[in-house]
Amino acid sequence: MKKKLIEVALPLDAINKACAREKSIRHGHPSTLHLWWARRPLAAARAVIFAQMVDDPSGHPDLFPTETDQEKERKRLCDIIEELVLWENTTNETVLEKAREEIRKSWRRTCQENAGHPRAAELFNPDVLPAFHDPFAGGGSLPLEAQRLGLESYASDLNPVAVLINKAMIEIPPKFAGRPPVNPEWQEKPDSEKALTIWKGAQGLAEDVRYYGKWMRDEAEKRIGHLYPKIKITPEMVEDRPDLEPYEGKELTVIAWIWARTVKSPNPAFADVDVPLASTFMLSTKKGKEAYVEPVIEGGGYRFIVKIGKPKNLAAAKSGTKAGRGANFTCLMSGTPISGDYVKAEGKAKRMQACMMAIIAEGNRGRVYLSPTPEMEQIAKTANPTWKPEGQIAKRMTGGNCTPYGLTSWGDLFTSRQLVALATFSDLVQEAIGQIKKDAINVGMSCDGKSSENAGFDAYADALSVYLAFGIDRLADRSSSICSWDTGYTKIRNTFGRQAIPMVWDYSEGNVFSTSTGNFTSLLEWIIKFLNQSFSLKKGRALQEDASIQSISSKKIISIDPPYYDNIGYADLSDFFYVWIRHSIKNIFPNLFATMAVPKAEELVANPYRHGSKENAELFFLNGMTQAMKQLSIQSHSGFPVTIYYAFKQSEKNGTTGITNTGWDTFLAAVIEAGFALTGTWPLRTELGNRMIGSGTNALASSIVLVCQKRPEEAPITTRREFVAALKYELPQALTHLQKGNIAPVDLAQAAIGPGMAVFTRYEKVLDAQGKALTVREALALINQTLDETLAEQEGDFDADSRWALTWFDQMGFEEGEYGMAEQLSKSKNTSVSGLVEAGILISKGGKVRLLTPDELDPDWNPLSDKRLTVWEMVHHLIRALHQGETAAADLVAKLGAQAEVARELCYRLYTLCERKKRASEAIAYNSLVESWPEITRLAREVKSKTSRQEEPELF
């Protein structure tokens, strides 16, 4: 099969920038439809699928005969990708159609070349593009983007929550595209207004979600509104708080009630007092709008009052009754330490309670912070839920767990009032379905009898119920006792601030009927915004299937984002949502919600607690993933490579084999064992460094996209020596190509795995001296070793002073070292210490020498007048200039001319040295220079052009 673009080139820098930017975009983004963990950015998915389907020009020498022609065509295709990945172009039909036409053009060529194939009529019909399938669909980014690129899209997953998300994204919107809403409010509008309104995509569906969602909200308020009373500002309240004077006599809508969990004091003198476990007493830390809770001890107990302004003891207010890390607190009454073990024991014995600390209400364009009242606390305690979700929370989760403190079932995560509200909204979904059917019949929508397949009023009501149920899931995420109050943004945090359910000591209980943070209407609005962006007319289908036995992939294009070894327990986490969706719409999707909880036994994650040991978990993961990959290898369309995302976990040291990667090599082994050969790996920076799961950990640093082809059955067997020889021949060429493409140094090692594993996987086996087959882990170690050697050999391109500086930097960094050692090293590098000082890169004083840091270099340095110019000097002056901005760096590059490229090459070597020595700040500097290189060189060309024009002689 001729190569596709993704096997040769990708504009990584543009894709990575688009991915990073997308993380901060909310309006209309699929992530706002329903929460899912580690969802791939749309930009990455769109770019990868496009490049997976479009031919690389090297396969068409008749059209692109020379290397120059091929590079020009590659650049044109990469320019399309750079335009395609921009968020602004997500629904830009002009840009999308340009990409679709390139896909169709490549497909027609592929069909023509395979006209003689025995199954040409079945596999290579030029008029019909193959369909797309993702068997690990998860959050649905890949199937959605395949559909956007003009492919019929199939999504499957074992997890019912993921299946429903994909139905909501790719199956339902095209089914009802272009239809007007059925709700009475729209129907009652004048015919003249109706005639002028054009409903694009799923906009009509969105309008009905808004209408019936509002109906549910209003009905819920009629039934349980008494549990969410307004608070009246009395003269007594104003007397203590002059800032409340504008509100005197008024009733304010409550936004949230702030609660602290309590336990009985461990001090015998106060054994009957429930003392608060408060992680903070601050309510707002906004500058000029500070507010806090002050405890007042009186009459053998305590009460809370809310004050405005900065507290006298800010540190004490910020820490509440917390005493260090974990569940360690101090008794408010006595100062007695409350240990974590004591708190756990109280929680397990179900003696942990809660007390109200503050009330936050809606004011005139801002928050009003109020002291709690006995009446408000009493009303909350009158809530009497008649139903609550069952099922046990997993006792072990990555990132923290609340179960040691007695919150062991899903129902335990909610207050009584929250349970009443969520159950009321869930019950109203069924009532809304009946109302939707009546309204749909009134506008003439037909009955279909097969709601899952056709598009009559049954199907329409069922479709709307999905989005209404998602609204309840979004509400549950903001309405649990795991939701804390964000004192900086002054809003309710959601339950899943990270991929875990950690214990929260003081929590915010939102008002579902307010117009502020955490209310049902605004949470539903995010779903409506997504639907308004859904314009695809291509068919989509989402099904529940086990990836290891599914047959949906047959003859389809495949791109997958499988589970990440042991990083995320998708099934354990999604039970939180499953219990509420099941309660809302299990009768609509009986097969999907047949079980009480999300299926877990077959889930392909390496959880030791589920399999008894780490070894058993790894074996389960390897066997299951191998089987799943075999299904793909057998079924995937022969005209296209398979692309696989894997969230790479940064390298770890192994004493015997060098650098290895836990989970990563196990995953690669599964891919290779399944019969795939790797033809490329691309590192995409799809994860933010400030993610809660990523902060302080090395989890999910970047996604590696593997490009795979079926390995030929006649693949040969080779020896370790021949494998290493092939690596040493091919890897340097690949490395040069990657560096020319300006790949970031931080991504170089992972990108180099592609050509390295391409060599390894072209063989059936690689045998060592004892005749034993080399493992993937051993192959990776050899690839890393060859990469290091190749980078070291590039030092030959550098001047003697720079070679000395490299070796010294490897040993000492920017620290001082002995003069004698420096002088001895200089002789082997054919230079001298005095010459290095003269070159302006070294300081020698008092028998010690030290490399100058970029900040110490002469800011007036001019390379044109430097009599001893070194590559080392160029790099560090460029880093110094880059601190001032890309324009300053560009001025230097303009003066350096062609020599600047050698400086960029040195950055790769320096980054590798820093990474090995764990010198993070220096590594970032070298990586940043390379990442900024395209913009720096563009600006440098402008500088040169401007200078050239200024130097042109006057004609008159």
| Average pLDDT for 248-256 | 96
Question: Given strand 540-544, what is the order of strands in its sheet?
Answer: 540-544, 153-157, 132-134, 557-560, 642-648, 702-710, 676-684
CA angle 866, 908, 881 (to 5 degrees): 45
Give the least confident one: 524-533, 748-757, 871-880: 748-757
Q: Over 481-527, what HEC string results?
A: CCCCEECCCCEECCCCCCCCECCCCEEEEECCCCCCCCCHHHHHHHH
Confidence bin at 660 (pLDDT 50/70/90): very low
Question: What is the percent of the chain where pLDDT is above 90?
Answer: 67
Question: According to the per-residue pLDDT averaged within each range, which of 111-120, 130-139, 892-901 is highest?
Answer: 130-139
What is the H or E stretch that residue 307 is in?
Answer: strand 301-308
Confidence bin at 794 (pLDDT 50/70/90): confident
| Residue 123 buriedness (CB in 10 A; 0-12 / 13-18 / 19+) | middle
| Average pLDDT for 3-21 | 89
> What are the DSSP calls for 855-871, one per residue?
GGS-TT--GGG-TT--H
pLDDT at 51: 97
Q: Which of 774, 773, 768, 730 is nearest to 752 (CA)?
A: 730
Cα atoms in the 13 Å half-sphere on the side-chain side of 912: 19
Residue 345 has pLDDT above 70, yes or no: yes
- In whole angstroms, what is the distance from residue 548 CA to residue 552 CA? 11
Q: Over 58-102, what HEC string results?
A: HHCCCCCCCHHHHHHHHHHHHHHHHHHCCHHHCCCHHHHHHHHHH
Give the least confident one: 51-55, 396-400, 433-437, 480-484: 396-400
| Average pLDDT for 766-794 | 88
pLDDT at 691: 37
Q: For residue 766, give the amino acid letter.
A: V
Q: What are the tens digits of pLDDT across the range 823-868?
A: 988 888 889 999 999 999 999 999 999 999 999 999 999 999 999 9
Confidence bin at 655 (pLDDT 50/70/90): very low
Q: How far are the Cα atoms of 232, 283, 472, 492, 772 from residue 37, in angstroms, in the given order?
A: 42, 29, 18, 20, 40
| Average pLDDT for 931-950 | 80
CA-based radius of gyration for the chain:
32
Q: How far are the Cα atoms of 52, 227, 818 from residue 234, in angstroms, in the given order?
A: 67, 21, 77
- In whole angstroms, what is the distance from residue 423 CA to residue 475 CA? 11
Q: What are the tens digits of pLDDT across the range 800-829?
A: 999 999 989 988 999 999 999 999 888 888
Q: What is the model's pTM?
A: 0.85
Residue 701 has pLDDT above 50, yes or no: no
- Buried residues in 219-253 as b, exposed as e (16+ CB within 10 A): bbeeebeebbeebebeeebbeebeebeebeeeebb
Confidence bin at 451 (pLDDT 50/70/90): very low
Q: Which of 163, 172, 170, 168 is nearest to 545 (CA)?
A: 163
pLDDT at 448: 64
Question: What is the percent of the chain where pLDDT is above 70?
Answer: 94
Residue with tokens 């504008």: 246
pLDDT at 391: 92
pLDDT at 399: 67
* Mean pLDDT, all residues of the chain: 89
Residue 513 has pLDDT above 60, yes or no: yes
Token readout for 6 is 């993704």
User: For residues 560, 566, 571 and 573, what is the CA-based torsion angle, rounded to 10 degrees?
Assistant: -120
Confidence bin at 950 (pLDDT 50/70/90): low
3-state secondary structure of 611: helix
Residue 3 has pLDDT above 70, yes or no: yes
Token readout for 955 is 């004609």
pLDDT at 20: 84
Residue 951 has pLDDT above 60, yes or no: no
Contacts of 864 (CB under 8 A, 6+ apart): 895
Q: What are the tens digits of pLDDT across the range 717-755?
A: 999 999 999 999 998 888 887 777 677 787 777 778 888
Is 52 in contact with 6 (CB distance < 8 Å)?
yes
Confidence bin at 653 (pLDDT 50/70/90): very low
pLDDT at 445: 86
Residue 666 has pLDDT above 90, yes or no: no
Residue 480 has pLDDT above 70, yes or no: yes
| Average pLDDT for 356-384 | 96
pLDDT at 734: 84
pLDDT at 398: 65
Residue 715 has pLDDT above 50, yes or no: yes
Token readout for 113 is 């070349």
Residue 649 has pLDDT above 60, yes or no: no
Confidence bin at 127 (pLDDT 50/70/90): very high
Q: What are the tens digits of pLDDT across the range 883-912?
A: 999 999 999 999 998 888 888 889 988 998
User: For residues 888, 890, 895 and 896, what is the CA-based torsion angle, rounded to 10 degrees?
Assistant: 120
Give the least confident one: 377-381, 723-727, 929-933: 929-933
Q: What are the tens digits of pLDDT across the range 404-444?
A: 999 999 999 999 999 999 999 999 999 999 999 999 999 88
- In whole angstroms, what is the distance from residue 155 CA to residue 167 CA? 8
- In whole angstroms, what is the distance from residue 390 CA to residue 480 CA? 15
Q: Which residue has the higher pLDDT, 67 or 653?
A: 67
Residue 75 has pLDDT above 70, yes or no: yes
Residue 450 has pLDDT above 70, yes or no: no
pLDDT at 634: 93
| Residue 770 buriedness (CB in 10 A; 0-12 / 13-18 / 19+) | exposed
Q: What are the tens digits of pLDDT across the range 537-558?
A: 799 999 999 999 999 999 999 9
